[in-house]
Structure 1
């Protein structure tokens, strides 16, 4: 049975992992006959957002602890990830991917990437194993790899920022994927578009199917 690492960025669209994208990715992996292990960096969140009001809250949370909510406690620090133990790695989206895994949400093309995240991506690529990325997560993949072909959907400003990092951006719509065969990177836009939960499932299913095919 193939095994995929799923990297979470906390819990909640505005400051962590997008819960629909994360859950539907895990569901797709299971339904397609593989298994998964969740990981998250053991670091402080960039900030905490009230998901009712959209306002920042005066408190501090940990990315790994928050991501454990989605993983039902079955999660490991990303520092323990070894590419040799897995057939692929997938990054669901949510603002946490652009705030906690990297700083793209704050710094755009000048962003930095969490060292454990960068190490996981690079070691997977060196091992010639596929990388999946949903929603805004292709931005952090691009920051690490540079000349990669990706999609975040159709947002011109975000696409331009990604291309400034050296990537080629392909405009896509719901459920569509872009495959970079050189790096074995598979991306889909998900909630970077105005989407329904069933359209998110389409994207997650298609990314997982292609990643398993390439693994």
Structure 2
């Protein structure tokens, strides 16, 4: 029996407005197991840029840690992103949520002029250098656009975000639920998920499709 493929999954906290989108995260992890692979989960050990009340959308005056919050989703089974080593994994995955645009990058605040968290950029570049695939859901393709510039990506059909991707040098493809865009040269797969109004079944479909697309690129 061949050894199982192993995915590294990077989270940005816990909760759509200030961290990792929980449904996207859980359906991604489920899809990885359903595809016959394994996963380990990472997050940067850092203070969140914002803490948002998920009932009223207002910012809360308190501090939370991205790694500690992300641990809630995976029952504490998580590692600091500083310890990531691309040699140990076959693929790298980024579920969405505004935490990707606030904690993993500064896109929510700076748009195309954003910066990428150094540990995130290191993980992405090491994975790419090792010729291993990367999957990016929802808003996380902005990270790929900032790092690689000329990349073929999708965030769905939001024109303002598509324009920002293109300002960073990327090529955007409009998509709907469950569709995956693959940049074969860079080995990057992207899908829109909650960048579109979606039901949980549509999120699960997108997660499964992108995991399968990434799996195909691991062989």
TM-score, normalised to structure 1's length?
0.99
Unmatched segments (≥5 aa) in structure 1: none
Please report how far the alpha carbon of residue 141 of structure 1 lies from its aligned counterpart in structure 2 after TM superposition. Answer: 1.2
2:78 counterpart (71, 75, 78): 75
Tell me whether 1:149 sits opposite 2:155 in the alignment.
Answer: no
* DSSP 3-state at the match of 1:70: coil
CA distance in 2, matches of 1:134, 1:147: 18
CA distance in 2, matches of 1:59, 1:12: 15
* DSSP 3-state at the match of 2:131: coil
CA distance in 2, matches of 1:63, 1:181: 32
Following TM superposition, the consecutive aligned residue runs of length 4 or more in structure 1 with deviations greater than 2 angstroms are: none
Q: Which residue of 2 is the match for residue 2 of structure 1?
A: 5
1:186 counterpart (184, 189, 193): 189
CA distance in 1, matches of 2:177, 2:135: 16
1:59 counterpart (54, 57, 62): 62
Tell me whether 1:204 sits opposite 2:211 in the alignment.
Answer: no
Tell me whether 1:195 sits opposite 2:198 in the alignment.
Answer: yes
What is the aligned length? 215
Tell me whether 1:140 sits opposite 2:143 in the alignment.
Answer: yes
CA distance in 2, matches of 1:46, 1:95: 11
CA distance in 1, matches of 2:100, 2:206: 17
Please report how far the alpha carbon of residue 104 of structure 1 lies from its aligned counterpart in structure 2 after TM superposition. Answer: 0.4
CA distance in 1, matches of 2:115, 2:33: 32
Unmatched segments (≥5 aa) in structure 2: none
Match runs of 1:163-178 below 5 Å? 163-178=166-181
Q: Which residue of 1 is the match for residue 109 of structure 2?
A: 106
TM-score, normalised to structure 2's length?
0.98
Render the CA deviation track for 1:3-42: whole Å, top value 9, x for unaligned. 0000000000000000000000000001110000000001
Q: Which residue of 2 is the match for residue 15 of structure 1?
A: 18
Please report how far the alpha carbon of residue 89 of structure 1 lies from its aligned counterpart in structure 2 after TM superposition. Answer: 0.3
How large is the Cα RMSD of the aligned pairs? 0.4
